[in-house]
C-alpha cells in the first residue's frame, strides 16, 4: 500500500522505467494468476461412514470413544450440530443424499427400492454426476450408494450403484464376519450356517451384533483397502488439470463389528458408560417406536450392552484411523488448500438410548447425522443451523461454483460454511420419513414424531429443556397448542415436498 506513494515522488528516469515494467508485470500477473486459480475449481473429498451415530464421536461430545482424526478435521472446519438424515436406513438415505431429493420423491423408501434408483433418476444428475458433467474426475471407492453390508462386501460387488456418477469406481472386498480372530455374538439374531464361506446374503450378519476381534493388523479389511485406494487416487489425480470429486465410503461401524484386536483395547467392556437414562423412559414411547429395543435384541444384561459399546467404539476408532490416512495423504500431497473435505454418515444410530438399538428409529440419535465441512479459507465453527442430508448436494455445488439442478430439493448451506457463527437460518424445519407414514419434524425448539400418520402414536419433545427426549409431551394438555402447531407444520411440510 505504501510502495506507490514512496515511488511516486521519485523523478529519476531509470527507476521509473523499472517501475513501469514492474507495474506491467504485476498487472499481467494480476490478470492471469487469479483467472487460472478461478478456472481450477476446488477438489472435493467426500467421506461417508455407515451406521455412525454422531454421539460416538469425540468431536460430538463422546468422552470414551477415541476419534482423533475426525476431531482434528472438525477443529479446522464447520462442524454442524443439527443436521438430519431424510430416512433412517442406508438405501433410502443414500438415495436422498445423492439425488438431493426427499426419499419419497425419488421413490426409494426401502433398501430393496435402491435397485430402482438409476431408473428413477433418469436424466436428472446425481451429486457426483453433476461434478462429472462439469469437468471433474469423479470416483467412488466402496459404499456410496446402497451396498448390502456385509453381503456385497464379502462378494466384492457394486451393489445398486449409479454408473453415470463415476469416471471410475472401485469395490473393497473383505472377509467381514469370516475374519480370523476371536468371535462373539452378543444379540440373539438367528445366524444361518455357512461352512464354506460362499453364501453372501441373508445369513443374519447384517443386523446381528456380531463381533470379531481380528487376529491380523487389519490389512484385509474393507475400510483399510478403501483408504489405500483413496490415497492411491489422490496421488494419481491430485495434480491433474481436472479437479477431482473423490467419494470414499467406509463401512464401519456397520455390523458385523470387526476390527483388529488392538482397537478393542482402549474400551474394556465393564468400563463403558451406558447411555443416560431415566426411570420408565420407554413407557411414554408408543410401541411403533420401540421395534428394536434391548429385550427384543437379546441385550438383556448390562454387560452385553457394554460389550456392544466396546465393539462399536473399536469399529468407530478403526474407521477414524482410515480417515486419518486419507487426510494425511491430502496434506502430504499439498492438496489441503484447494480441497473441500466433507465427512458425514448415511444416518445416525441408537446406542441404547431409550433402550433402543441400531436404526429405523425417528429419535434424535438415529435421525441426527454428523456433518463436517472443512473448506479452505473459511472460519472454523460449530454451527447450530438446522440442516438436512439433501442440503449437501447444493452446498457442494455452490461452494464449487456449479449450477444447482432444478430437481434438487435441498437448500445450500454454503452461507453457513462461509460464516458458521453468523449466517441466518436456512430452514425453519427439517424432516425425516420412515416407512410410508411415520414422520419426524424438527424445528428450532421442538421435535415431533408421528407414527402411521398419528394412528399409531405421537411423540413431542422440547429439545431446549429435554435434549435427550426423555419426556414425551404429546399427551400433556399444556402442550396441546404446540402439538397442534407442529402437526400443522408437518402437514405443510408434507404438502410442500411432494
Instruction: Using the minimum distance from each CB to Ca ion, give the nearer residue, 284 or 462.
Output: 284
Beta-carbon contacts of 114 under 8 Å, excluding residues fewer than 6 positions away, are 90, 91, 92, 94, 95, 108, 145, 146, 159, 160
**Size of the residue set binding Ca ion (CB under 5 A):** 3
Q: Report in angstroms how near the CB of residue 472 gets to Ca ion at its nearest.
A: 5
Could you give the CA distance from residue 403 to residue 255 in angstroms, rounded to a whole number?
Answer: 38
User: Which one of residues 71, 133, 189, 284 is an interface residue with Ca ion (CB under 5 A)?
Assistant: 284
Beta-carbon contacts of 139 under 8 Å, excluding residues fewer than 6 positions away, are 166, 167, 168, 169, 170, 233, 237, 244, 245, 246, 247
Query: What kind and span of H or E run contains 140?
Result: strand 137-142
Q: Nearest to residue 155, comparing CAs of 119, 117, 207, 199?
A: 199
Q: Report in angstroms how near the CB of residue 285 gets to Ca ion at its nearest.
A: 6
Instruction: Using the minimum distance from each CB to Ca ion, give the nearer residue, 392 or 449.
Output: 449
403-411: Cβ within 8 A, 24+ apart: 403/130, 403/134, 405/100, 405/124, 405/125, 405/130, 407/99, 407/100, 407/101, 407/124, 408/99, 408/100, 408/101, 409/100, 409/101, 409/102, 409/105, 409/497, 410/100, 410/101
Instruction: Using the minimum distance from each CB to Ca ion, give the nearer residue, 207 or 471.
Output: 471
Q: Report in angstroms how near the CB of residue 451 gets to Ca ion at its nearest.
A: 15
Chain position whose Cβ is nearest to Ca ion = 281
Instruction: Using the minimum distance from each CB to Ca ion, give the nearer residue, 176 or 355.
Output: 355
Q: Report in angstroms how near the CB of residue 209 gets to Ca ion at its nearest.
A: 23
Q: Which stretch binds Ca ion (CB under 5 A): 33-41, 118-126, 275-283, 335-343?
A: 275-283
Q: Which stretch binds Ca ion (CB under 5 A): 220-228, 280-288, 305-313, 457-465?
A: 280-288
For the chain, the first-to-last Cα distance in angstroms comes to 56
Strand partners, 45: 246, 341
The reply to whether 293 sits near Ca ion by the rule CB under 5 A is no
The reply to whether 281 sits near Ca ion by the rule CB under 5 A is yes
Q: Report in angstroms how near the CB of residue 326 gets to Ca ion at its nearest.
A: 40
Q: Report in angstroms how near the CB of residue 283 gets to Ca ion at its nearest.
A: 7
Q: Report in angstroms how near the CB of residue 284 gets to Ca ion at its nearest.
A: 5
Contact 310, 261 (CB under 8 A): no
Q: Report in angstroms how near the CB of residue 476 gets to Ca ion at its nearest.
A: 12
Which cell numbers hold the place of 49? 461412514
Q: Report in angstroms how near the CB of residue 364 gets to Ca ion at its nearest.
A: 12
Instruction: Using the minimum distance from each CB to Ca ion, give the nearer residue, 178 or 470.
Output: 470
Instruction: Using the minimum distance from each CB to Ca ion, give the nearer residue, 51 or 281.
Output: 281
Instruction: Using the minimum distance from each CB to Ca ion, give the nearer residue, 355 or 438.
Output: 355
Q: Report in angstroms how near the CB of residue 296 gets to Ca ion at its nearest.
A: 17
Burial 59-89 (b: 16+ CB within 10 A, else e): bbebeebbbebbbbbbebbbbbbbbbbbbbb
Strand partners, 381: 78
Instruction: Using the minimum distance from each CB to Ca ion, give the nearer residue, 432 or 472.
Output: 472
Q: Report in angstroms how near the CB of residue 447 gets to Ca ion at its nearest.
A: 12
- Spell out, one character per residue from 297 to 336, where the chain touches Ca ion: x when CB under 5 A holds, - when not: ----------------------------------------
CA distances from 201 to 90, 155, 157, 354 (A): 16, 9, 12, 31
The four Cα atoms 77, 389, 253, 218 give a dihedral, to 10 degrees, of: -60
- Residue 144 CA to its chain's centroid (Å): 10
Instruction: Using the minimum distance from each CB to Ca ion, give the nearer residue, 203 or 362.
Output: 362
For the segment 350-409, give every residue that binds Ca ion (CB under 5 A). none
Q: Is 275 exposed, middle or buried (CB count within 10 Å of its CB: 0-12, 13-18, 19+)?
A: middle
Q: Which stretch binds Ca ion (CB under 5 A): 36-44, 283-291, 321-329, 435-443?
A: 283-291
For the segment 149-178, give every residue that binds Ca ion (CB under 5 A). none
Instruction: Using the minimum distance from each CB to Ca ion, give the nearer residue, 175 or 286.
Output: 286
For the segment 423-482, give every residue that binds Ca ion (CB under 5 A). 470
Q: Which stretch binds Ca ion (CB under 5 A): 53-61, 168-176, 284-292, 310-318?
A: 284-292
Q: Which single residue is written with the C-alpha cell 494468476?
A: 33
CA distances from 185 to 258, 299, 476 (A): 12, 11, 41
Instruction: Using the minimum distance from each CB to Ca ion, give the nearer residue, 413 or 474.
Output: 474
Instruction: Using the minimum distance from each CB to Ca ion, give the nearer residue, 186 or 473.
Output: 473
Determine the longest span between alpha carbons in the chain, in angstroms: 93
Q: Report in angstroms how near the CB of residue 278 gets to Ca ion at its nearest.
A: 7
Could you give the CA distance from residue 348 to residue 368 in angstroms, rounded to a whole number?
Answer: 6
Give residues in contact with Ca ion (CB under 5 A): 281, 284, 470
Amino acid at each position: 500500500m505504501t510502495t506507490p506513494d514512496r515511488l511516486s515522488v521519485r523523478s529519476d528516469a531509470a527507476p521509473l522505467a523499472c517501475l513501469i515494467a514492474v507495474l506491467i508485470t504485476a498487472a499481467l500477473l494480476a490478470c492471469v494468476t487469479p483467472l487460472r486459480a478461478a478456472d481450477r475449481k476446488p477438489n472435493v473429498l467426500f467421506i461417508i461412514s455407515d451406521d455412525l451415530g454422531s454421539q460416538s464421536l469425540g468431536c460430538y461430545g463422546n468422552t470414551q470413544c477415541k476419534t482423533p482424526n475426525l476431531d482434528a478435521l472438525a477443529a479446522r472446519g464447520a462442524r454442524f450440530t443439527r443436521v438430519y438424515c431424510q430416512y433412517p436406513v442406508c438405501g433410502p438415505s443414500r438415495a436422498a443424499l445423492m439425488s438431493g431429493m426427499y426419499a419419497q420423491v425419488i421413490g426409494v423408501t426401502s433398501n430393496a427400492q435402491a435397485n430402482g434408483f438409476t431408473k428413477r433418476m433418469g436424466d436428472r444428475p446425481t451429486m457426483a454426476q453433476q461434478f462429472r458433467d462439469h469437468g471433474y474426475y469423479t470416483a467412488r471407492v466402496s459404499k456410496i450408494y446402497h451396498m448390502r453390508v456385509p453381503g456385497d462386501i464379502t462378494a466384492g460387488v457394486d451393489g445398486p450403484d449409479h454408473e453415470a456418477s463415476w469416471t471410475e469406481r472401485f469395490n473393497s472386498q473383505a472377509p467381514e464376519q469370516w475374519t480370523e480372530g476371536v468371535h462373539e455374538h452378543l444379540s440373539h439374531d438367528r445366524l444361518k450356517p455357512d461352512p464354506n464361506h460362499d453364501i453372501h446374503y441373508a445369513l443374519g450378519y447384517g443386523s446381528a451384533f456380531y463381533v470379531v476381534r481380528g487376529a491380523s493388523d487389519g490389512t484385509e479389511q474393507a475400510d483399510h483397502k478403501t483408504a489405500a485406494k483413496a490415497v492411491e487416487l489422490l496421488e494419481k489425480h491430485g495434480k491433474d488439470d481436472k479437479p477431482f470429486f473423490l467419494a470414499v465410503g467406509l463401512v464401519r461401524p456397520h455390523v458385523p463389528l470387526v476390527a483388529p484386536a488392538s482397537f478393542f483395547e482402549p474400551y474394556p467392556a465393564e468400563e463403558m458408560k451406558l447411555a443416560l437414562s431415566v426411570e420408565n423412559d420407554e413407557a411414554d414411547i408408543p410401541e411403533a417406536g420401540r421395534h428394536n429395543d434391548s429385550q427384543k435384541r437379546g441385550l438383556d444384561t448390562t454387560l452385553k450392552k457394554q460389550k456392544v459399546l466396546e465393539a462399536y467404539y473399536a469399529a468407530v476408532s478403526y474407521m477414524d484411523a482410515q480417515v486419518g490416512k486419507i487426510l494425511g495423504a491430502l496434506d502430504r500431497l499439498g492438496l489441503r488448500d484447494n480441497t473441500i473435505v466433507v465427512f458425514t454418515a448415511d444416518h445416525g444410530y441408537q446406542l441404547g438410548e431409550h433402550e433402543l438399538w441400531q436404526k429405523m428409529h425417528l429419535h434424535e440419535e438415529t435421525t441426527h447425522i454428523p456433518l463436517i465441512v472443512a473448506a479452505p479459507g473459511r472460519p472454523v465453527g460449530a454451527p447450530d443451523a438446522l440442516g438436512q442430508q439433501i442440503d449437501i448436494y447444493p452446498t457442494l455445488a455452490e461452494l464449487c461454483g456449479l449450477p444447482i439442478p432444478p430437481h434438487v430439493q435441498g437448500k445450500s448451506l454454503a452461507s453457513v460454511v462461509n460464516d458458521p457463527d453468523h449466517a441466518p437460518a436456512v430452514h425453519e424445519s427439517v424432516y425425516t420419513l420412515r416407512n410410508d407414514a411415520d414422520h419426524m419434524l424438527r424445528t428450532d425448539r421442538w421435535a415431533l414424531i408421528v407414527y402411521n400418520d398419528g394412528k399409531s402414536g405421537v411423540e413431542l419433545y422440547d429439545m431446549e429443556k429435554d435434549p435427550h427426549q426423555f419426556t414425551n409431551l404429546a399427551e400433556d394438555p399444556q402442550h396441546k397448542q404446540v402439538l397442534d402447531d407442529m402437526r400443522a407444520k408437518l402437514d405443510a411440510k408434507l404438502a410442500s415436498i411432494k
